[in-house]
Structure 1
């Protein structure tokens, strides 16, 4: 009996060790891979030792591969470099549809002269078909992109279950909406989807409730059916205890997971804010704003009014007003007369002219003759016209 159980256990574990991630890859530094792809404008595409250089002139250029893949494609990973950055389209064609019916998925390449990898968790895209017979990329005129390699990845059923379990324990970070609600556990089934979890809203994936609630319904229904079939008080009590145990276990699992997420918020605050010295602290979605405020307060002591310039999306006006009190914090849409000091925080439209005038795009905020007294980082500084 022991030998039989051992053999069954080995057979159950074989798929976990035998199946692994499968990848189909095209390396555009290899001429044998380059010839498998075509371009709508061949003069705009050239094969180099570093990859496929794409320079559309006057019209959009599409590079594409046509043919069947050796396996299903769950995610795409590609390596590109674009010195000026670029916007592109990932394209695919679904077998059986008209040849000119191509589905497009936009993506952005950040400016970089060094190669950067990007992931597209295609299984999260509603229109993606893992049996696609054409894939490609389209770039508008004026862009310059070096395409280095493209990889299509597939994960086995066992690996997808493991990823779902890992994503259950993947936590969101504290942000503005955390005051009102939490997303809770969200299940994804590939490493690329898990890496992008909570980076866009709503998060791509299955809410854990899609698994939990049907499980609870099945447990309750099975208990009722068992009680009616057996018609024994003892068996009914036993089934009820099993059902209560399953429900309690599910509740405890959910509660532990959510409790750990709340603890992760506190841990992150402790490591990024409490334990760091002034000038290196970051707090949640406000990042280094509290550091900027603490430093600025010591530099503007005694001022009655202070101008505050920031991106309205950050909603930082109240925090600034609290920190500078009793000084009155004035926003850019109010009268700026009588103000000689402004705090600018992450507002790229703010600039100082050669004559020393603070401008917000085309709107003058200060008279000429001012200067920056403290730099805090990108588009963040303290400006004054006081002598």
Structure 2
């Protein structure tokens, strides 16, 4: 849970305008204790840390916090200049948390930490453990948080037999979405978060083009399913979107509890898909019905038939795929990289056909 506020006047400025927005999005008041809590699902037992994939950036290797630094001012340490939100201030101070045997631990009161590197769209793997000795209850028990881009929080909390408001328990998108299930292991055991985060998109004039989206697996169980965020979640409020940088650091929160972390890695995701070449879809030609009829028949295990002015090819099961003629000797499977090359006799009747997929001959 976010404890920090940049200024009380800023809360008063946005509280009224964002209260209606947050309630309209979910139908529930923020932190409503009457909101149904998610069902308890018992996850698989914890395992040893799984090595990261080859393209992952390791943010903690079990020995030091060199990938992290102190985050001066807490997660709320942003400023607003006009219509722009600035959260990317560097402290250049070492991360003040304690490193143990393969893990690091929050030092209560020392402040939050943040990655030295900034990120946009990512897949994040993070393992954490609430203190084995139970102290406190509700939001005061095993509380921390992971803030994507330093702004968008996935809650960390000991929610094992520990009632609290639904949108503030473990794996909630804080203040917005309760998890689909309470997948907690007991305190002291390692929990895993696997998070897919897509940053918000802003236009050249600062307008919101697409909201941030988050998917979360808690201990292997889907608990947030590509949910759109309706602003920046804060305690008792939501700030409306304001444009910010495309890449910002991750932040881990000091909420006064000695929560432990290990095996943290991130994969940067492509923010745009490769554009197809202009000639990806080849223009077909029109062949008269009497010419199309020449191709009808069986070719080994394949069969071609005519449906009106379209040829279709049967491979297996119920599938009859449309053929698009590029010439009298070459056809393509519509919307695919499949290509059929016909060997014709002197009268234009096919004698045999060669089928390739992406240039690779198919049997």
Q: TM-score, normalised by structure 2?
A: 0.24
